[in-house]
Structure 1
Amino acid sequence: MRSLGKSILSVALSVSLLSATAQKATKPAVLKYNDYKHYVDYFNKMEDENIVQAIPNAQAWQWMTANIPLFDCPQDNFREIYYFRWWSLRKHIKDTEQGRVLTEFLVKRSYADKYNLIASALGHHIYEARWLHDQSLLDNYIKVWYRGNDGKPLSKLHGFSSWTTYAVYDRWKVNRDNNFIKDITPDLVADYAEWEKTRRHKDGLFWQTDVKDAMEETISGGRREQNPRPTINSYMYGNAKALAKMETLNGNPAATELYNKKADTIKNLLQTKLWNGNQQFFETWKEKGDSSANVKEAIGFIPWYFNIPDAEYSVAWQSLNNTKEFCAPFGLTTADRSHPLFRTHGCCKCEWDGAVWPFATSQTLTAMANLLNNYQQNYVSKNDYYTQMNTYVESQYYRGRPYIGEYLDEKTGYWLKGDEERSRYYNHSTFADLVITGLVGLQPQEDNSIVLQPNIPQDKWDWFILDNVLYNGKTLTIIWDKDGKKYKKGQGFTLLVNGKKVANQAGLGKMVWKQ
């Protein structure tokens, strides 16, 4: 029976891979997939594949050639981790009787929902997987969460705070699937109403406990403390703005106005009540003491993930590069290093009192790119963004091999659960999306324009390329070639659409192309 089961799985896998290839018969304009296969050969050999879901290691490269954009640059560690993160994400694709889904852990968790699903990183999963060529995975994964319980949401959809609706709309900017938006909007409207019913405080702010924010054992709160936090309020603002946009697409102006008003209310409350003027930072409000928690935590950067704050609040980012606050040798800490309670909760039961969590790092880096792209400020620079991305890359190794786990020591880089099976390949953050939208700077738009805002200092790399990116029905190739000799497609910054050069400029700066 075991042999027969494997045979059936193999046939299903082959059909799925062929379907993905046939659905998007695109190819890179410059690079060749086989030039990067050696990374996957190495990844396959460096481990004991003791847990196999939908796509085993032996089929990993076939799946990747059918699904991922290619990336190259002068730094081998960036290249290696880029392909490693796609290789590891593939491990989390799981076949169910309701179709394919994405898990967070490979091992089973007692607090997971059906199919071992956990909602905490759902927004991260959507951001990362929106760049896959075959979007049927995300279509199904999202619908299972909202309809997989006999047409109703899975029971633990609200087990954690979520910016899922915002992520769904940002995914639409990439694939422009209006039918999916129209179909899923009623589910997302009901979801928003449920959050208002269960988590909105009488003053209009949303509250959450640390553990339900996926951030247990913080300095600012506790596993059971019900505090208004920058996290859930930012998420609900983003979800409201996304619903307003979706209802515009669906032709419902009254609903658009309603959700814009909801978002405006949250923004006002966030900037008035959760802003600590003394510390110049967004902070948790302590309900019991009716005052600010008076501790800077990485969640104070999250409002910029959704482009919420007005310009004057950008001063908060002066803390990012301060080595006494958030900037540590192996990453951005989750709490202010100078606070007396920094890393005082012990180890290693998923404390968020200062250690580096990729979940938070990828949120902060997305927010940082938004700050660089959408605000006038002098607190962080492109060089800072590159430096933090480079640190993020360097942190994703364990015992000399590529690795992504739960959280790590900020001074040594040691993965705090690195020897636990549960921590291997932890699907709880983004990386490819940060390369595509942050470093290379492809900014998904609501119109037909292509906007590139690279956050790589011009003097850092002489060349890089992102090839075979599916975007708004087109195949993009984005090239930086300082002297034009590397790719021979022109000197400077170049955009190819469906293999044809449509734009070029000398410097590595903002580029806008309109049909």
Structure 2
Amino acid sequence: MIKASVILTFFISLTTNITLAQKSKGGGVLKVGNFRHYVDYFNKMEDENIAQAIPNAQSWDWMKANIPLFECPQQNFEEMWYYRWWTLRKHLKQTDQGYVFTEFLVKRNYADKYNLIASALGHHIYEARWLHDNKYLTDYLNVWYRGNEGKPMKKLRGFSSWNIYAMYNRYLVNSDSAWLMNMLPDLEADYAAWENEKRLRNGLFWNTDVKDAMEETISGGRREQNARPTINSYMYGNAMALARMETMAGNKAKTQLYSLKADTIKQLFQQYLWNAKDTFFETRKTAGDTMANVREEIGFIPWYFNLPDAGYEAAWKKITDESGFFAPFGLTTAERNHPQFRTHGCCKCEWDGAVWPYATAQTMTAMANLMNNYQQNVVNDSVYFRLMELYVESQYYRGRPYIGEYLDEKTGYWLKGDQERSRYYNHSTYNDLIITGLVGLRPRADNIIEVNPLIPANEWNWFCLDNVLYHGKKVTIIWDKDGTKYKKGKGFSVWVNGKKVASAATLQKVTGNL
């Protein structure tokens, strides 16, 4: 039965890929050759001492076949776009069970088979869901959930995860319901295992900070089994995703079951993890059942999953506070004015204040959700844009594009920048933030295309996101203030397979029919 299900998944995915390719025929605006110079530069700026499935020499051909195109007047945003696709490709590894994505290029002794590590799997799904060829991510997820003689890999639950939620959000991009339904029993079993292993008596979930992929925090420790905003937000998101999948499958009873599970987590989360004194979601210490009384960046994660009810938005006031989380090179992982900020020493992966791209990506995704899905006046597109600028500016090292583990919040110095393990560290998103946040393509299940850019009107006179494969169609999003750049008319417009489906005179939310 296991082999049959794997074969079925393969043919479902193959059929879907063919169907998507047939549907995706449509005109584009940007010329792919105009961006090759980035890849030529990236290839020349390093000695390729580690090559996996797609070596540097094949990187441009792979990118041409797989990635959306992006052009804007702020060159570092554009350069980083192509750099992050180039680095993601480095982590593709061919195995006897198909393709997988690694987190480190170098081997880690705590990794699973094929050097797999589950801590950033949610990030991998969000970023790779925009690749045109579904096989890379489909293979990867099949290996994680069925690669151990038909069973999950041994270390699938080695770290807190929002994998189930991310897989549903992948479906919102590629519309491959058949594959998702085929995976549903595996995801139900995964959720039940988390409940069995990590649920506290009060109904919340616990983990140690290191198994949250966030070691040496101010709020916890490597052995402290605390109720943290991370794992509880993830489990809420996973339950919500399962409820939606069960609706797709026509399972009314299970839809209700997972909806109730999600609602229970939400109520407990808001009851036990909201610190009214700090106006922030914080870790609750299991020992003594008390708040940790420290604002950490993980307090923004609930909005990644649209978890909080209205009324908690005041937490976001700290995002622009220099004594809070706002630092010269990005968002700190703990509040800067806390007495224990950056007190754990250096360079053993401390989450007591330094800037981690892993956390930045989560916070920026959460902020885009806040701005799209909540009525609030705490943050606006100028805040979002400035924080994206800092995120881009931080991803350089000695004048060259670089993505590593973590960095000093004041100098921008990569704290493990000279270690081989830190190079091309695949534990965050960037391109997904450009697509869904900055440019504003908001994935959804129906046939409405929704675009809500978070770019202040006075920042860019033009930009184009092109060749985006969404619901099996090619999407192009254009901002051309005076109409002279792309010759497609003045203003903001959305095109599907070469046909304009939505437009506006200014940068604003628009919707159209796919």
- TM-score scaled by length of structure 2: 0.95
> Distance between the aligned counterparts of 1:176 and 1:27, measured in 2?
18
> Distance between the aligned counterparts of 1:103 and 1:445, measured in 2?
28
Change in 2 beyond 3 A, CA 1:141/1:198: same
> Distance between the aligned counterparts of 1:476 and 1:446, measured in 2?
16
Query: What are the within-5 Å matches in structure 2 for residues 197-208 of structure 1?
Result: 197-208=196-207
* Aligned position for 1:292: 291
- Say if 2:25 and 2:473, in contact at 8 Å, map to a contact too: no
Query: What are the within-5 Å matches in structure 2 for residues 140-159 of structure 1?
Result: 140-159=139-158
- Say if 2:27 and 2:497, in contact at 8 Å, map to a contact too: no
Provide the secondary structure at the position in 1 that maps to 2:312: helix
Find out whether 1:338 has 2:337 as its counterpart.
yes
Whichever residue aligns with residue 269 of structure 1, its letter is L
- Say if 1:341 and 1:353, in contact at 8 Å, map to a contact too: yes
* Aligned position for 1:430: 429
> Distance between the aligned counterparts of 2:393 and 2:90, measured in 1?
22
* Aligned position for 1:91: 90
Deviation at 1:23, TM superposition (A): 4.7
> Alignment RMSD, CA only?
1.4
> Distance between the aligned counterparts of 1:136 and 1:511, measured in 2?
32
* Aligned position for 2:301: 302
Deviation at 1:456, TM superposition (A): 0.5
Change in 2 beyond 3 A, CA 1:345/1:167: same
* Aligned position for 1:248: 247
Change in 2 beyond 3 A, CA 1:263/1:21: closer
Deviation at 1:504, TM superposition (A): 1.5
Deviation at 1:231, TM superposition (A): 0.2
Deviation at 1:28, TM superposition (A): 5.6
Query: What are the within-5 Å matches in structure 2 for residues 15-414 of structure 1?
Result: 23=21, 26=25, 29-414=28-413
Change in 2 beyond 3 A, CA 1:225/1:179: same
- Say if 1:317 and 1:380, in contact at 8 Å, map to a contact too: yes
> Distance between the aligned counterparts of 2:25 and 2:351, measured in 1?
43
Provide the secondary structure at the position in 1 that maps to 2:254: helix
- Say if 2:328 and 2:411, in contact at 8 Å, map to a contact too: yes
Instruction: Kindly provide the CA deviation profile for residues 75-95 of structure 1, in whole angstroms up to 9, marking residues without a partner as x.
Output: 000000000000000000000
- Say if 2:310 and 2:374, in contact at 8 Å, map to a contact too: yes
> Distance between the aligned counterparts of 2:441 and 2:501, measured in 1?
15
Whichever residue aligns with residue 292 of structure 2, its letter is A
Deviation at 1:289, TM superposition (A): 2.5
Provide the secondary structure at the position in 1 that maps to 2:415: coil
> Distance between the aligned counterparts of 1:280 and 1:122, measured in 2?
30
Whichever residue aligns with residue 132 of structure 1, its letter is L
Deviation at 1:514, TM superposition (A): 2.3
* Aligned position for 1:6: none
> Distance between the aligned counterparts of 2:181 and 2:499, measured in 1?
33
The number of residues matched between the two structures is 498
Whichever residue aligns with residue 248 of structure 1, its letter is T
Deviation above 2 Å: which 4+ runs of structure 1?
19-28
Provide the secondary structure at the position in 2 that maps to 1:158: coil
> Distance between the aligned counterparts of 2:365 and 2:511, measured in 1?
20
- Say if 1:20 and 1:134, in contact at 8 Å, map to a contact too: no
- Say if 1:481 and 1:487, in contact at 8 Å, map to a contact too: yes
> Distance between the aligned counterparts of 1:21 and 1:179, measured in 2?
13
* Aligned position for 2:5: none
Instruction: Kindly provide the CA deviation profile for residues 241-271 of structure 1, in whole angstroms up to 9, marking residues without a partner as x.
Output: 0000001111101100000000000000110
Provide the secondary structure at the position in 2 that maps to 1:157: coil
- Say if 2:120 and 2:427, in contact at 8 Å, map to a contact too: yes
- Say if 1:28 and 1:467, in contact at 8 Å, map to a contact too: no
* Aligned position for 1:11: none
- Say if 1:282 and 1:296, in contact at 8 Å, map to a contact too: yes
* Aligned position for 1:453: 452
Provide the secondary structure at the position in 1 that maps to 2:477: strand
Provide the secondary structure at the position in 2 that maps to 1:172: helix
> Distance between the aligned counterparts of 2:18 and 2:424, measured in 1?
24
* Aligned position for 1:489: 488
Deviation at 1:20, TM superposition (A): 9.8
Deviation at 1:288, TM superposition (A): 1.2
> Distance between the aligned counterparts of 2:329 and 2:464, measured in 1?
27
Identity of aligned residues (%): 68
- Say if 2:26 and 2:498, in contact at 8 Å, map to a contact too: no
Instruction: Kindly provide the CA deviation profile for residues 345-381 of structure 1, in whole angstroms up to 9, marking residues without a partner as x.
Output: 0001000000000000000000000011111111111
Of 502-511 and 117-126, more deviation after overlay is shown by 502-511
> Distance between the aligned counterparts of 1:159 and 1:365, measured in 2?
25
> Distance between the aligned counterparts of 2:160 and 2:45, measured in 1?
35
Provide the secondary structure at the position in 2 that maps to 1:442: coil
- Say if 2:92 and 2:102, in contact at 8 Å, map to a contact too: yes
- Say if 2:491 and 2:503, in contact at 8 Å, map to a contact too: yes
- Say if 1:20 and 1:66, in contact at 8 Å, map to a contact too: no
- Say if 1:21 and 1:66, in contact at 8 Å, map to a contact too: no
> Distance between the aligned counterparts of 1:423 and 1:20, measured in 2?
37
* Aligned position for 2:10: none
Change in 2 beyond 3 A, CA 1:449/1:20: closer
Deviation at 1:30, TM superposition (A): 0.6
Change in 2 beyond 3 A, CA 1:272/1:22: closer
Provide the secondary structure at the position in 2 that maps to 1:443: coil
Deviation at 1:446, TM superposition (A): 1.6
> Distance between the aligned counterparts of 1:373 and 1:303, measured in 2?
15
